[in-house]
Amino acid sequence: MTTENLLVELLVEELPPKALKKLGAAFAGTLVEVLRAQGLVDAAASTTHFASPRRLGVHLTQVASKAPDKAVAQKLMPVSVGLNAQGQPTPALLKKLQALGLDASAVADLTTESDGKAQVLFVQTKVAGATLVQGLQKALDEAIAKLPIPKVMTYQLESGCALPGWSSVSFVRPAHGLIALHGASIVPVSALGLQAGSTTLGHRFEAKVSPVSIAHADHYATTLERDGAVIASFDARRAAIVSQLHAAAAKVGNGVRPIEDDALLDEVCGLVERPNVLICAFEREFLDVPQECLILTMKANQKYFPLLDAAGKLTHQFLVVSNISPADTTAVVGGNERVVRPRLADAKFFFDQDRKKTLASRVDGLDKVVYHNKLGSQGARMERVRQITAAITSLANLAVDTPAQLFVESVDTAARLAKTDLLTDMVGEFPELQGIMGGYYARHDGLGETVALAIEDHYQPRFAGDELPRNTAGLVVALADKLETLVGMFGIGNLPTGDKDPFALRRHALGVIRMLVEKDLPLDLPTLVNAALPAFGDKINDPSQALLDFVFDRFAHQLREQGYSAQEVDAVLALRPARLGDVPKRLLAVRAFAALPESPALAAANKRIGNILKKTDDVDAHVSQVLLQEPAEVALFAAMQTVLPQAQTQWQAGDYTASLQSLAALRQPVDAFFESVMVNAEAMDLRLNRLGLLKSLHIAMNRVADLSKLAS
């Protein structure tokens, strides 16, 4: 058995650029997994995967030409069937052994084991290890079959190139070549009607030779780059693009930098085989258009990298990642500048046309835009959002810099106009700019910065880690907008299922959570949900309980991702705190309490108290000092008289950590109580008094969190 490094490459026509990184990782991952499962790959082997616009490949070290033989214990039959009373083999056993290529002499080597029901005979056999040809063929077939391809195409194979029996193939793109090299030797496998060889094709225009011959598995990347002008590694090519982008920006000077966009980088990396970054420019007059429009059209339509100045403002220059490297780049630069000009002109035209109509004049048009067949139009939705914003502003005194009445009017104006930019030409062309364009048009209409920012930010946070609205008016409108969606969709039973969430309800719930927590808004979640219900009239059923369960479930998931333990999260959220802004303080208090030496005993006692109280009817949290008889219950009551008022004062002041730590002083009297006091005394008055004592203690111990959740 020999060990060599293995190279596999599948040469195809241009693959979908947005999916290339995922396709490359999946192809390599499945191939290696199947080879390893067959024992052909050493555990210490290292993998390098390749993915360029026209190829998927993998280089794998320490691949054996043949897997080791395996000793396998094969189940035969129950002992009672295979052996007679004298312990001799029955005809059934001999026939089974014969089918396995064994004779009666193998009976002496049989072993017996129990399968849970009876003693069973086993025979030890050796299974020949797979050869590399067999193993790689299986791995290649599985890697191709399991590629995450949303849509395949069917094409005819070239005559004379197809293997016998192959005439047409279904794959993501037509395949034209297959390399399988074990060291310097070709592994005779096939795929998609192609027989493995040792040659591939390089860059369509700049390869030095064609085809490119790969002499050894280890020479693939260097040979392809030298002779084929292709950087095969996705990561290496991406790094080269990043390096060239920053170098080109440095040439421009004045502190400019290319825009950061990982998705755009990955897509451009999937479009070029050997990147060459060039500096281009457009007319400065286009900078009068909002930069978000220009940036989006350059990125989305042309895959260009806009350049920003030190203040983050768009410049009139941009970077192009070309797939060719001519000595004279004038034609390439000029061509890209000509191509982008009409795109920018369209953006300018849309911007100029949109400003001819005010946002207010577009409000009636929202009645013609369908939102949901059970919930009406965008106009009806806008009116619900207005009602919810009014309810929110009446619920609490929010910190604002303007007079209260002016603030209320600004919020209502922003809520009324927030969706009107959906009817503009710019948002029609670039839906990603909804909200952003509304802010620009609000400023043009003279509505003021408060209203403009609220309109611009009311979709935020749009994704995990996104910024929250910048002013209080924006927070109110964003909160109302998300609550309207959540209450409405839950009210008509349109809930997320599995990975399907067409109305982004999970994202909306996290947005509500983040605004309430990070801005520590003086608003209770259940109250907010109830305040949103009247806006829907009889269009929905009351979804309050299901919606609150959903929000707290998302909150728990988010907190665990932030590093809080499951016990800490369960302890705090078990109480369903109405003020979500309190939750971080409660979690820190629970963490500090859990670190105390008294914590385990008190958590266990709290759990025990909870179980006792569950078995009784409603218990009054009242204690008659006259009925306290046992020294331990007298001592516990006395300790509670000192500790509980102090803990409650700290709790009311919001000092949750101090409140919980004050309870640590109760450990000894609580332990003594359970050691020497019979709670369920025969005398009813004693029993109720002791239950009342425990109920008072239980209430006090669970104000910050359900401490029983900390019990192991």
* Residue 414 C-alpha from the chain's centroid: 32
* Contact call for residues 165 and 152 (beta carbons, < 8 A): no
Question: Cβ-count burial of 475 within 10 angstroms (0-12 exposed, 13-18 middle, 19+ buried)?
Answer: buried
Q: How far is CA 593 from each of CA 157, 327, 701, rounded to the nearest angstrom?
A: 70, 70, 12
Helix, coil or strand: residue 502: coil
CA distance 457 to 453: 6
CA distance 575 to 570: 9
Question: Cβ-count burial of 287 within 10 angstroms (0-12 exposed, 13-18 middle, 19+ buried)?
Answer: middle
Q: What is the pTM of this model?
A: 0.80
The reported pLDDT for the residue numbered 86 is: 79
Mean per-residue pLDDT for 312-339?
Answer: 95
Asked whether the predicted pLDDT for residue 164 surpasses 70, the reply is no
Token pair for 524:
């209770």
Higher pLDDT, 3 or 247: 247
CATH 3.30.70 placement within the chain: 3-67+131-228
pLDDT-derived band at 483, boundaries 50, 70, 90: very high
Mean per-residue pLDDT for 25-52?
Answer: 92
pLDDT-derived band at 39, boundaries 50, 70, 90: confident
Token pair for 544:
């309050």
Higher pLDDT, 685 or 591: 591
Higher pLDDT, 221 or 67: 221
Mean per-residue pLDDT for 62-84?
Answer: 81
The reported pLDDT for the residue numbered 231 is: 97
* pLDDT tens string 663-686: 888 888 888 888 888 888 888 888
Give residue for tokens 């310097």: 184
Q: pLDDT > 70: what percent of the chain?
A: 98
CA distance 684 to 590: 36
pLDDT-derived band at 125, boundaries 50, 70, 90: confident
Tell me which DSSP letter residue 420 carries.
G
Q: How far is CA 344 from each of CA 259, 318, 429, rounded to the nearest angstrom?
A: 18, 13, 12
pLDDT-derived band at 417, boundaries 50, 70, 90: very high
Asked whether the predicted pLDDT for residue 413 surpasses 90, the reply is yes
Asked whether the predicted pLDDT for residue 318 surpasses 60, the reply is yes
Asked whether the predicted pLDDT for residue 128 surpasses 80, the reply is no
Asked whether the predicted pLDDT for residue 605 surpasses 60, the reply is yes
Asked whether the predicted pLDDT for residue 195 surpasses 90, the reply is yes
Mean per-residue pLDDT for 687-707?
Answer: 87
Asked whether the predicted pLDDT for residue 14 surpasses 60, the reply is yes
Please say whether the dihedral angle defined by the alpha carbons of residues 531, 536, 541 and 546, taken in this order, is positive or negative.
Answer: negative
Mean per-residue pLDDT for 460-488?
Answer: 93
Cis bond leading into 461, ω under 30°? yes
- Mean pLDDT over all residues of the chain? 90
Mean per-residue pLDDT for 689-705?
Answer: 87
Give residue for tokens 């949750």: 656
> What is the number of H-type helices and E-type strands within the chain?
25, 20
Mean per-residue pLDDT for 27-56?
Answer: 92
Q: pLDDT > 90: what percent of the chain?
A: 63
Token pair for 174:
């037509």
* pLDDT tens string 199-208: 999 999 999 9
The reported pLDDT for the residue numbered 276 is: 97
Higher pLDDT, 627 or 166: 627
Query: 377-382 contacts: CB < 8 A, separation 24 or more?
Result: 378/419, 378/422, 381/419, 381/484, 381/488, 382/415, 382/416, 382/418, 382/419
Mean per-residue pLDDT for 597-620?
Answer: 83
* pLDDT tens string 520-579: 888 999 999 999 999 999 889 999 999 999 999 999 999 999 999 999 999 999 999 999
* Contact call for residues 699 and 651 (beta carbons, < 8 A): no
The reported pLDDT for the residue numbered 1 is: 64
Q: How far is CA 122 from each of CA 1, 77, 179, rounded to the nearest angstrom?
A: 29, 8, 43
Least confident of 27-36, 155-164, 203-212, 324-333: 155-164
CA distance 143 to 27: 5
Q: How many CB atoms lie within 10 A of CB 575?
A: 15
* pLDDT tens string 632-646: 888 888 888 988 999
Mean per-residue pLDDT for 386-406?
Answer: 81
The reported pLDDT for the residue numbered 165 is: 61
Among residues 345, 261, 243, 348, the alpha carbon closest in space to that of 303 is found at 261
Least confident of 307-321, 418-432, 678-692: 678-692
Pick the CATH number of 3-67+131-228 from 3.30.70, 1.20.58, 1.10.3470, 1.25.40: 3.30.70
Asked whether the predicted pLDDT for residue 109 surpasses 90, the reply is no
Mean per-residue pLDDT for 273-301?
Answer: 95
Residues 6+ apart with CB under 8 A from 678: none
The reported pLDDT for the residue numbered 123 is: 81
Asked whether the predicted pLDDT for residue 619 surpasses 80, the reply is no
Asked whether the predicted pLDDT for residue 160 surpasses 60, the reply is no
Q: Which of 501-505, 531-535, 694-698 has the highest mean pLDDT?
A: 531-535
Q: For strand 175-182 and strand 370-372, is the pairing parallel, antiparallel, or unpaired? A: unpaired
Token pair for 407:
């603030």
Where does residue 51 fall: left (phi above 0), alpha (psi -120 to 50 degrees), or beta otherwise? beta
Asked whether the predicted pLDDT for residue 339 surpasses 80, the reply is yes
Least confident of 218-227, 340-349, 463-472: 463-472
Mean per-residue pLDDT for 370-384?
Answer: 94
Give residue for tokens 């209260």: 404
> Tell me, what amino acid is at 69?
D
Instruction: Name the superfamily (CATH) of residues 588-710.
Output: Isoleucyl-tRNA Synthetase; Domain 1 (1.10.730.10)
Token pair for 228:
């084929």
The reported pLDDT for the residue numbered 401 is: 63
The reported pLDDT for the residue numbered 664 is: 86
CATH 1.10.730.10 placement within the chain: 588-710
Where does residue 576 fall: left (phi above 0), alpha (psi -120 to 50 degrees), or beta otherwise? left
Q: Which alpha helices (DSSP H) does 15-55 contain, by range?
A: 20-37
Q: How far is CA 434 from each of CA 466, 509, 531, rounded to the nearest angstrom?
A: 16, 20, 27
